[in-house]
Amino acid sequence: MKDFQYLLPQTLEEAVRLKEEYDKAAVFMAGATDIVVRMRDYLLTPEYVIDLKKIPGLDGITFSKEEGLHIGCLATMNEIAGNEDVRKYYPTLAAAAESVGSRQVRNRATCVGNIVNASPLADTATPLYCYDAVLEILGPNGKREIPITEFILFVRKVALERGELVTGIRVPYREAEGEFRKIARRDQVDLSTVCGTVLKFGDEYHIAMGSVAPTPLRLKKTEELLAGKKLTKELIDEAAELAPTEVNPIDDVRASKQYRLDMVSYIVRDVLTKLA
Ligand SMILES: Cc1cc2nc3c(=O)[nH]c(=O)nc-3n(C[C@H](O)[C@H](O)[C@H](O)COP(=O)(O)OP(=O)(O)OC[C@H]3O[C@@H](n4cnc5c(N)ncnc54)[C@H](O)[C@@H]3O)c2cc1C
């Protein structure tokens, strides 16, 4: 690992100021489960690492039906997976957080880090896409919010401007049924070959898939096909056929393109069948 200077701001304002000053020479660090691996492999060689962990008040998880869920940027996967409100009102997010790595990884890894890292297979992304989550951002020019679907732009590319950091994720509340699915080569401690979430809000459907394109995706055509209709076997067949036409996976070490296309179809068919 290349030497770097370790910075430990005590306030958000200080963190923003440091990032604005050092810009691309600096990276933020939360749980460090992504950046340390990348730094060890020389894929990331920052001159400065800005550790956010000593800034107070960033690890909270709060919920009300009016305000929805708020996940602070230092809330870990284990805290999210074990939170009673998340389990009750956002069970697919709890399941996704619980599926990440090992218990040790989940004790450090944050959901915000999972999203900012912008891997196509980030497990918490697809439930957050389905729930229309919003990223809360603080930067030199103050606060702003951005929907998650506009935040992740490409593999490891997000819509953060110079000096900006993510303070938390806001997830609106709507009553929903559905499931998160992770297809991986092993049950534990494996990255998703394909992951996906299918949610039903009344007669509206939200479907998101991961590891099937450079970013996680909402399957808008399949959602439109299903909207307002009763889930019959014919309709589910049609949706399972349409869904893979909306993604563009690659062959890689984990699976072939065709396998991923088949898994997208399978997840859509299986969850819709359970919802019917
Ligand atoms: C053994 C192992 C297994 C894993 N298994 C899985 C898995 O099954 N599924 C999965 O999805 N991931 C998995 N991961 C990846 C990783 O754990 C997650 O992506 C994790 O959630 C990243 O969060 P972190 O807090 O550790 O982020 P960090 O490594 O600290 O940071 C990740 C990125 O986010 C940025 N960042 C962090 N916080 C902020 C902020 N508040 N504002 C702006 N930028 C910020 C950092 O600069 C960096 O670019 C695994 C990792 C390991 C090591």
CATH of the domain at 20: 3.30.43.10
165 plus 198 within the same structural domain: no
pLDDT score at 190: 87
Answer with the one of 121, 141, 171 that is the final residue of a domain.
171
13 plus 85 within the same structural domain: no
Evaluate: CB of 168 within 6 angstroms of ligand 1: no
Evaluate: CB of 32 within 6 angstroms of ligand 1: yes
212 plus 112 within the same structural domain: no
Q: Provide the 10 A C-beta neighbour count for residue 32.
A: 16
159 plus 193 within the same structural domain: no
Domain membership of residue 26 as a residue range: 5-51
164 plus 204 within the same structural domain: no
56 falls within a domain: no
Residue nearest (by alpha carbon) to ligand 1 atom 43: 165
pLDDT score at 198: 98
pLDDT score at 257: 96
Pocket test for ligand 1, best of 4, 13, 117, 180 (most atoms within 8 A of CB): 117
pLDDT score at 266: 98
106 plus 158 within the same structural domain: yes
74 plus 39 within the same structural domain: no
Q: Tens-of-pLDDT digits for all 276 residues of the chain?
A: 999 999 999 999 999 999 999 999 999 999 999 999 999 999 999 999 999 999 999 999 999 999 999 999 999 999 999 999 999 999 999 999 999 999 999 999 999 999 999 999 999 999 999 999 999 999 999 999 999 999 999 999 999 999 999 999 999 999 999 999 999 998 888 899 999 999 999 999 999 999 999 999 999 999 999 999 999 999 999 999 999 999 999 999 899 999 999 999 999 999 999 999
159 plus 128 within the same structural domain: yes
Closest ligand 1 atom to the C-alpha of 34?
Answer: 29
pLDDT score at 268: 98
224 CB-near residues (< 8 Å, 6+ apart): none
Answer with the one of 51, 69, 84 that is the final residue of a domain.
51
Evaluate: CB of 246 within 6 angstroms of ligand 1: no
Q: Identity (one letter) of the amino acid at 37?
A: V
CATH code assigned at 256 = 3.30.390.50
Considering its fold, how many domains does the chain have in total? 3
87 falls within a domain: yes
Instruction: Give the 3-state DSSP-derived string for the chain, with helices as H, strands as E and coil as C.
Output: CCCCEEECCCCHHHHHHHHHHHHHHEEEECCCCCHHHHHHCCCCCCCEEEECCCCCCCCCEEEECCCEEEEECCCEHHHHHHCHHHHHHCHHHHHHHHCCCCHHHHHHCEHHHHHHCCCCCCCCHHHHHHCCCEEEEEECCEEEEEEHHHHEEECCEECCCCCCEEEEEEECCCCCEEEEEEECCCCCCCCCCEEEEEEEECCEEEEEEECCCCCCEECHHHHHHHCCCCCCHHHHHHHHHHHHHHCCCCCCCCCCHHHHHHHHHHHHHHHHHHHC
120 plus 155 within the same structural domain: yes
Residue nearest (by alpha carbon) to ligand 1 atom 4: 101
151 plus 231 within the same structural domain: no
28 falls within a domain: yes
pLDDT in tens, 75-99: 999 999 999 999 999 999 999 999 9
Residue nearest (by alpha carbon) to ligand 1 atom 51: 33
22 plus 110 within the same structural domain: no
196 plus 106 within the same structural domain: no
pLDDT in tens, 117-173: 999 999 999 999 999 999 999 999 999 999 999 999 999 999 999 999 999 999 999
Residue with tokens 């956010």: 52
